[in-house]
Structure 1
Amino acid sequence: KRKRDKYVGKACGPCKRRKIRCGGGIPCESCIRRKKYCVVDSGDGPENDSSAMKQVELQALHQRLATLESHLTTLTRALLPASPLSDPNAPILSQSPEAGGSHNNVPVEKISADAAEERTIPGPSGTSPKDYLSFSSGKNLTTGRNLGETSVTHALQRVEDRLNELGMPVLERDSAPGTPPMTPLPSNTKDYNHNSIAHQVKRALEENGIEPDRATWDEYFEVYLTEVHLLYPFSNEMSISETYEKLWELLGTGNEIALPEIELDKACQMLLVLALGRCTVSTRIHKSEGFHSAGWSLYCTAMDLLGNLLDTVNDDSRPLSSLHSLVLVVIYLLRIDATERAQKVLSLAVIHAQHLGIHLSKTHDDMSTFDSEMFKRTWWCMYVLDRRVSLVLGRPFMIQDNNITVALPREVDVATPRSVLDFYHMEAESTNLSLIPYLNVMVGYSRVVGKVWETLFGAESGSKTSSYVHEYLDSLVYGWMESVPKFLVCDQNNVHQPPITSSPHLFKQRFLVQLRYLSILIMIRSPVRRSYGALSPSSHNVESDTMCLQQARSIISMFAQCTAADAVYGFPFLPYLLEASITILSCLTRLPNLRANYKETTEDSLRMLTQFCKKSWVSGKMARIIFKLGDIIPKIF
């Protein structure tokens, strides 16, 4: 009887009717083999077995429903059109009232370049997320994001924590109300593949609300050459100028047959060049062309034409041009403080360059002299960018020194591929007008920065560093500074002292070399890296803090000596002034007896930071940090 009850409680209806063994489960193995509908008859078997079976089945059903709901949610998000999210933290500075009337020809789903720093917008299927500048709210993701010790956000947070310990909490600033979108996003549905290059470019410009103006674009182009190209000379000026003229011939002619020869990626590069020039001359406020702010619409046009960035690195037919496109994207994103996205795009460029092997000397043996020099310049510009992006984010760098065998570029300028013989002719001339000496100096600086970062902030570094390590790192920095050519050395006490050789771009290069020299010395003894511990620090920490205070004061003094004509209030100078100001605040929270000595210096730095925000375009993140400094400084003094 007990065996019969056990079988009846376990067997399904079809098995009981056929009087065969049933393995249990729904469906059972017998029903699966015979393709029968497996069901348990109600009322069969003991009551407790039946209720237990129903409980198990109910739990399994709930689990399946939860899985289906999860899959359905994922599919729904993927199919929904991209739409901007309201960002209450985006605008900090006041905007021109005329900006609101500039949206008539702009689609609703357009957001500002600045707001895009902290938003995430899901892209449609088949579209690379790297083509869109959008982030989630950085405020909500701060705790889950590795900010790194060398990032400004981390340094400012340490200052706030210390003030909280001293009973002087910093009140959070209320979020500003949301504002209408200002700048256009790249459209999600672009298809230019079946049109001529002229039609593609004109259509992309029109869809992003851009009307080409030769006089205005000439200004942007000239600004790029004098402000950005001198920092990252990965191409040569004559080639850039020739491509720019071809772009205007393309836009100016209506004859499809007599169009000039220009590749689509070259046109994209020119639009990125113009975007960088526009961002350099524009300001964040007092501008009526809100949706063209920071050259964002030009950047969107270039990204529309460039397409999927993965396709760019997968195409080896034009390797040098594809690397130039990626480097320009990185520089632009770095300029608008979208540093995280810049690092991701830079990783594509580095992987592509390593795939091509341009970091190895043997790869250059089979190249022409011109091609080899151009690839060297591009590689070493990427190397400098890698170190800079890693320092800003406080994260490990991608390029390892022990994997590089290619030599530095030569200190001569090359006009075109047809002027290879000019290498030997120009060697006898002065190279001071060349941009390559500065690039080579920055490569040396980046190598030292890499060693400093690995020693102090690497995975195997400790929280405490002995004075011997500081002395070793100092010797590396001093050795690099001694290798800098005399015409690139700046006197921090007299920044306008005439150099040995003068040229239009030399002042900014010399100024940057000295800024980075002082900045790396501060990094070695950074008070942000050390835990605050007791209120009375050790003598070694006091010495380190005092040295950091002196070097930070030197940086602020250098900026105070500059005039408006020097134009050191924008990219890439402003972050160094900001870091020096935060360093002083961090040290003074540990050494309160020195506050009176540095009060005037700190107030001067805040005044200059506030003025610089009005003279050049700054991101919302930068503006918020500067405004927060305005709240912190009165609490310390």
Structure 2
Amino acid sequence: MPPAAERIDMATDDPSQRVKRRRVALACDACRMRKSKCDGARPQCTICISMGFECNYTPPSSCTNLLVGKDYLQSLESRIALLENHMGSVKSHLVDLSEYVQEDRNTFPPARENCELGPATSESLPDLANIEDPIDGMGAVVFADKEDYGFFGPSSNIAFLRHLYLTGTNDVRRQQRPNLPGTRSGGFEFGFVNVSRPPSPVAKVIGSSSQNQPLDLFALPPRLETWELVQKYFSDTGLLFPYIYPPTFLETCQHVLKRNPRRIRRTWLGLLNIMLAMVKITAAPETKPAEIRLAEANMFYQRALGLCGNEMLRGTTIEVVQFLLLMGQYLQGTQKSVQAWTIHGLAVKAALQLGLHSKDAAGAFTPADQEVRRRTWFACVILDRTLSMTLGRPATIPDNYVRLELPKHDDDLVVPMVDPRDVQMSTLFFNNTILLYKQLFVTIDELYDQNLGCESQLSVSEKISKILSISQTLEAWKTSLPEGLGLVTVQELQNATRPAPEEPQFSFKFRVILTLRYLHLQVLLHRPILVQYIDACVESSANQHEQRVLQQIGWNSLQICSEAAMNIIDLVYEVLDSTEWHKSLLGAWWFTLYYTFHSALILRGTLWVCRDGDLAAKPLSCGIEQLVLYPSRAVQALYKLDSGNRIVDRCRYYLERLTNISNTSNGSARSDKNQAEASSSFVNAFDSNINYSPLGLEFGEFMLDGDFWAAMIQEEPSADQFAVNNPA
């Protein structure tokens, strides 16, 4: 007899209606409670659907013949496959890490002195690390393969050089090109510099790593050398810009040098590398040739960039902000000057993101952390004012964002390699720089129209009124300087001697740098009046009333401007022409270069005005015979500043060309013939036939490139060459 499960219902005689009874492995809960025959349909059986019951299947714990759905099995298989893939990846990384650690132990024993570690490279950011700009020093804009445009506002040297050029070429070109670009009423105050490619081959990047030899990001000099470089930073740049807390940094540095640098966070190691780069690029010229110093600095810069290339875009810690600040300072002295502007923007945004500008946000931190945050924010402000001045661009940080109290000196702050009195004086120096640069912001805001270049023209009387107001504030700042930070005169510098070992070593250096900053602000403050005189030389149909007002009340401003420029050149020349100790009294060489070059340009423009008989109200107190010597004195100072430095060499070259023209007359006025000959010489001095390629760069912030001058002396400017255009 067949089993019950296979019995055939014999109630009907029709074979087609005979159906086998299907066995259900598991009935639903409702059917089991009602002891009904469940058809096992999923997700709801037929009886539950018809009666409106909730249909659930609960398998018993002792069930051995449970059937599992196909979808459930597929999901489990997918999860297992995913886990296997992850485990395989982890195993592969563990194998690589084991081989890497073993190689590290075999190659670099614990007692080594050279911390050349690891194969990590900077290939992730090759362009930013290796590309040089055609513009140097306090730089401007990068010129890539395609046409790029860089805006230079009224306070930049490019804008001022445009005025000088129009004055020097006015007599030669007035008949040929009566409507020069950018010579509207009020003169040229801003412009765009445009280039498709540098005319001469761009020099090979100094110190850049070869593509076949990737740079080791974790490499450091020998321990003793690294420690000495860090000490040099905190005993020089760290005193001028005291926003990195020395005790914490030095403690971490000692810990890292004794152990593996890979165990420290990348942002700290990047900060260390850019610190070493700063020490190398600011080293005294007597230590090593300029090419070697710049190559070594560039190597550390590339390592820092490779270590923090991703972190600096996030800016989530104060350490990253300090890294960006120090990199921005370093880039001002390289041929990567366009990056200084970009890096500074990242630093400011990161500082705002962290709330460094906010007193309320600082309340959650310890007093020491609050002080570090405050100093870092003010360092952002100082760098912002500097770049705004040199590039002629609007400030990134408005003055009403600067509301924090000035930094305070902590008596517990100890820097082992620095006299405690110098540390205390460093805070005072930093605070007075902040106050001075506040007036720099006001000067650019009121006299240079915030560097916006929107044709907001002021009359001569309005400019004089604003200049007098700012001058009074500057005089109050000068008289309020604390003891030990008073401004220095050339006579005092000549009589100065090296301090005794028991005396503070940096007091005189603070005074010299503060004096140069003050004098340069004086030059910048009174430069608009000089520009007004220069424009009057160019504009034959200038407003006669404005010219009379200019002659009546503007001459004193012109004299103050020229005296400040001469004092800068005298001070720099005296320092560089003296003993080795005197040479250490200056700050970073690119600031000295900028002050000297700008002052020479100011005096060059003053000479043009003094030799115009219609504009010269009276002779300058110094006399034109003495005034004409200062551009040459500036050239001599730059010869002493550095040897073999391409940026310094290019500045000196341009000044030499300027000083060799139109010096034939020593009177207050010149004949038309002599003036025309001098003007023609001015144009020919920047002829496109001059070969600039031996220096291997194209310079554009301190002066304009040869192609730019060549474009302005053609009948019509070419779109493929440098051009200066008014946006209107």
With the shorter chain as reference, the TM-score category is 0.5 to 0.7
Check 1:533–1:110 CA distance in 2 against 1; reply closer, same or farther (3 A cut).
same
Q: Secondary structure at the match of 1:204?
A: coil
Q: Which residue of 2 aligns with 1:82?
A: none
* CA-atom RMSD in angstroms: 4.0
Distance 1:304 1:339 in 2: 18
CA drift of 1:381 comes to 1.1
Matches within 5 A, 1:487-498: 487-496=484-493
Check 1:523–1:180 CA distance in 2 against 1; reply closer, same or farther (3 A cut).
closer
CA drift of 1:300 comes to 0.4
Aligned residue identity for 2:367: T
CA drift of 1:386 comes to 0.9
Aligned residue identity for 1:321: E
131, 138, 147: which is aligned to 2:152? 147
Q: Secondary structure at the match of 1:406?
A: coil
Q: Does 1:470 align with 2:461?
A: no
Asked whether the equivalents of residues 632 and 656 of structure 2 are also in contact (C-alpha less than 8 Å), the reply is no
Distance 2:476 2:558 in 1: 23
Check 1:114–1:322 CA distance in 2 against 1; reply closer, same or farther (3 A cut).
closer
Per-residue CA shift, 1:69-115, capped at 9, x if unaligned? xxxxxxxxxxxxxxxxxxxxxxxxxxxxxxxxxxxx999x9899897
Check 1:602–1:531 CA distance in 2 against 1; reply closer, same or farther (3 A cut).
closer
Distance 2:145 2:597 in 1: 20
Asked whether the equivalents of residues 270 and 307 of structure 2 are also in contact (C-alpha less than 8 Å), the reply is yes
Distance 1:294 1:578 in 2: 26
270, 273, 277: which is aligned to 2:275? 273
Distance 1:544 1:477 in 2: 15
178, 181, 206: which is aligned to 1:182? 206
Asked whether the equivalents of residues 534 and 605 of structure 2 are also in contact (C-alpha less than 8 Å), the reply is no
Asked whether the equivalents of residues 422 and 507 of structure 2 are also in contact (C-alpha less than 8 Å), the reply is no
Q: Does 1:558 align with 2:558?
A: no
Percent identity between matched residues is 18
Q: Secondary structure at the match of 2:643?
A: helix
Higher relative contact order at CA 8 Å, sep ≥6: structure 1 or structure 2?
2
Matches within 5 A, 1:417-456: 433-456=424-447
CA drift of 1:288 comes to 9.4
What is the aligned residue count? Answer: 474
Q: Which residue of 2 aligns with 1:35?
A: none
Aligned residue identity for 1:574: L
Q: Which residue of 1 aligns with 2:520?
A: 519
Q: Does 1:602 align with 2:631?
A: yes
Check 1:137–1:284 CA distance in 2 against 1; reply closer, same or farther (3 A cut).
farther
Asked whether the equivalents of residues 339 and 393 of structure 1 are also in contact (C-alpha less than 8 Å), the reply is no
CA drift of 1:286 comes to 7.6
Distance 1:213 1:595 in 2: 56
Q: Does 1:230 align with 2:239?
A: yes
Per-residue CA shift, 1:417-458, capped at 9, x if unaligned? 9xxxxxxxx9xx968644211111111011111111110112
CA drift of 1:354 comes to 1.5
Per-residue CA shift, 1:158-209, capped at 9, x if unaligned? 323322225499xxxx96655544332698999xxxxxxxxxxx94256xxx
Q: Does 1:136 align with 2:143?
A: yes
CA drift of 1:399 comes to 1.1
Q: Which residue of 2 aligns with 1:37?
A: none
Q: Which residue of 2 aligns with 1:161?
A: 166
Asked whether the equivalents of residues 324 and 378 of structure 1 are also in contact (C-alpha less than 8 Å), the reply is yes
Q: Secondary structure at the match of 1:118?
A: coil
Distance 1:328 1:505 in 2: 21
Deviates more, 1:400-409 or 1:333-342: 333-342
CA drift of 1:490 comes to 2.4
Matches within 5 A, 1:586-601: 586-592=605-611, 595-601=624-630
Distance 1:631 1:530 in 2: 25
Asked whether the equivalents of residues 330 and 346 of structure 1 are also in contact (C-alpha less than 8 Å), the reply is yes
- Pick the structure with more helix per residue: 1
Asked whether the equivalents of residues 371 and 407 of structure 2 are also in contact (C-alpha less than 8 Å), the reply is yes
Per-residue CA shift, 1:302-343, capped at 9, x if unaligned? 111112255431x3xxx2212111112111112326443212
Distance 1:587 1:444 in 2: 29
Matches within 5 A, 1:359-438: 359-412=357-410, 414-415=412-413, 433-438=424-429
Q: Who wins on radius of gyration, i.e. which is larger?
A: 2
Matches within 5 A, 1:185-224: 203-205=216-218, 212-224=221-233
Check 1:554–1:275 CA distance in 2 against 1; reply closer, same or farther (3 A cut).
same
Distance 1:288 1:546 in 2: 37
Asked whether the equivalents of residues 485 and 507 of structure 2 are also in contact (C-alpha less than 8 Å), the reply is yes
CA drift of 1:388 comes to 0.9
Q: Which residue of 2 aligns with 1:246?
A: 255
Deviates more, 1:545-554 or 1:560-569: 560-569
Q: Secondary structure at the match of 1:494?
A: helix
TM-score norm. by structure 2 comes to 0.58
Q: Does 1:298 align with 2:297?
A: no
Aligned residue identity for 2:206: M
Q: Which residue of 2 aligns with 1:98?
A: none
Aligned residue identity for 1:335: G
610, 627, 633: which is aligned to 2:659? 633
Distance 2:303 2:410 in 1: 34
Check 1:215–1:548 CA distance in 2 against 1; reply closer, same or farther (3 A cut).
same
Q: Give unmatched runs, 5+ long, in structure 2.
A: 1-120, 175-197, 541-546, 612-618, 664-728
Check 1:224–1:572 CA distance in 2 against 1; reply closer, same or farther (3 A cut).
farther
Deviates more, 1:232-241 or 1:514-523: 232-241
Q: Which residue of 1 aligns with 2:356?
A: 358
Matches within 5 A, 1:339-354: 339-354=337-352
CA drift of 1:250 comes to 3.6
Q: Which residue of 2 aligns with 1:118?
A: 134
Aligned residue identity for 2:639: T
Distance 1:631 1:289 in 2: 25
CA drift of 1:618 comes to 5.6
Asked whether the equivalents of residues 114 and 336 of structure 1 are also in contact (C-alpha less than 8 Å), the reply is no
CA drift of 1:137 comes to 5.5
Per-residue CA shift, 1:278-300, capped at 9, x if unaligned? 11127599849759615101110
Distance 1:549 1:138 in 2: 41
Q: Which residue of 2 aligns with 1:613?
A: 642
Distance 1:135 1:284 in 2: 31
CA drift of 1:232 comes to 1.0
Check 1:407–1:179 CA distance in 2 against 1; reply closer, same or farther (3 A cut).
closer
Aligned residue identity for 2:157: V
Check 1:491–1:186 CA distance in 2 against 1; reply closer, same or farther (3 A cut).
same
TM-score norm. by structure 1 comes to 0.66
CA drift of 1:595 comes to 3.8
Matches within 5 A, 1:29-44: none
Q: Which residue of 1 aligns with 2:721?
A: none
Asked whether the equivalents of residues 584 and 602 of structure 1 are also in contact (C-alpha less than 8 Å), the reply is yes
Per-residue CA shift, 1:543-584, capped at 9, x if unaligned? 322221111111112123222422338243221112111111
